[in-house]
């Protein structure tokens, strides 16, 4: 083989290796771009969870028929916060103590990957430490059941509760309470199946929950698609009189 032939062969080999290196560089570049996009998506998801809304899923029937078991709801973290909680809001709150069954059998540990995805907001929040109910009484309100028409009253004002399903009574147990400052009185829409403020009157706060325990206010059902809907507040256009200065806790 002549010297010129050797140069020709070396040149051919070099020409074959160059496209391979180029393809490898393109793959690495694509992987870097994919990693950057993934990191940006995770950061945005985390920021949305922290400052805009979170997602939760409904594990029980205590809010039927407004919320069904398995519904995924979106919860605005702006209320409470920049915005005040209102009568009629559906709120998600952490267990203020003694509301959830502490004697239940221990569940299998949550996989690390699931905890990570939940932390950044890509999976619904763990329902095991949170509850969802509707706000009936605000700080200072006198909440009572029931008047002569069988309705729950707030500061003497009878509530028309359109979210109660057919045959659901406002409450089968009588009670009168004044909501402490910094707390709200909550009840489930499925009153007979809801362990709400009425069931915890012996707890600190007399059954009312601290506003500080509220994660946010539900504003939509996002999943399943067949149940997707916005969650409006039925009391937005209702004027409930303010609490009387003379009311006292019973």
Q: Could you write out the three-class secondary structure of 159-228?
A: CCCCCCCCCCCCCCCCEEEECCCCEEEEECCCHHHCCCHHHHCCCCCCCCEEHHHEEEEEEEEEECHHHC
Nearest-angstrom CA–CA distance, 239 and 232: 16
Among the options 133, 194, 197, 213, which is catalytic? Answer: 133
Among the options 55, 62, 171, 197, which is catalytic? Answer: 62
| Residue 38 DSSP SS3 | helix
Whole-angstrom CA distances from 51 to 44, 66, 78 are 10, 26, 8
**How is residue 114 annotated by DSSP?**
H
62 is catalytic: yes
Dump the DSSP string for 124-167.
Answer: PBPGGGEEEEEEEE-TT-EEEE--TTS--EETTEEP--TTSPTT
Nearest-angstrom CA–CA distance, 92 and 95: 10
Alpha-carbon dihedral angle through residues 20, 22, 27, 28, given to the nearest 10 degrees:
120
Nearest-angstrom CA–CA distance, 163 and 157: 17
Nearest alpha carbon to residue 211 among 79, 111, 29, 20: 79
Q: Tally helices (H) and strands (E) across the chain.
A: 2, 12
Catalytic residues: 62, 133
């Amino acid at each position: 083989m002549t010297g010129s032939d050797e140069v020709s062969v070396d040149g051919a080999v070099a020409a074959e290796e160059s496209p391979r290196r180029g393809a490898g560089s393109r793959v690495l570049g694509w992987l870097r771009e994919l990693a950057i996009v993934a990191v940006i998506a995770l950061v945005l998801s985390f920021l949305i969870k922290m400052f805009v809304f979170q997602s939760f899923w409904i594990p029980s029937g205590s809010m039927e028929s407004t919320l069904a078991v398995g519904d995924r709801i979106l919860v605005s973290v702006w209320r409470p916060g920049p915005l005040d909680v209102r009568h009629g809001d559906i709120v998600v709150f952490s267990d203020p103590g003694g509301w959830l069954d502490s004697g239940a059998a221990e569940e299998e540990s949550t996989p690390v990957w699931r905890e990570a995805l939940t932390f950044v907001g890509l999976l619904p929040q763990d329902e095991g430490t949170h509850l969802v109910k509707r706000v009936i009484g605000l700080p200072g309100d006198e909440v009572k059941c029931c008047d002569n028409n069988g309705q729950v009253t707030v500061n003497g004002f009878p509530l028309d509760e359109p979210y109660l399903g057919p045959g659901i009574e406002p409450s089968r147990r009588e009670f009168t309470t004044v909501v402490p400052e910094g707390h709200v009185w909550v009840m489930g829409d499925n009153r007979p199946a809801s362990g709400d403020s009425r069931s915890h009157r012996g707890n600190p706060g007399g059954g009312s929950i601290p506003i500080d325990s509220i994660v946010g206010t539900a504003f939509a059902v996002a999943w399943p698609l067949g149940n997707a809907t916005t969650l409006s507040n039925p009391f937005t256009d209702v004027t409930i009189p303010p609490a009387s200065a003379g009311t006292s806790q019973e």
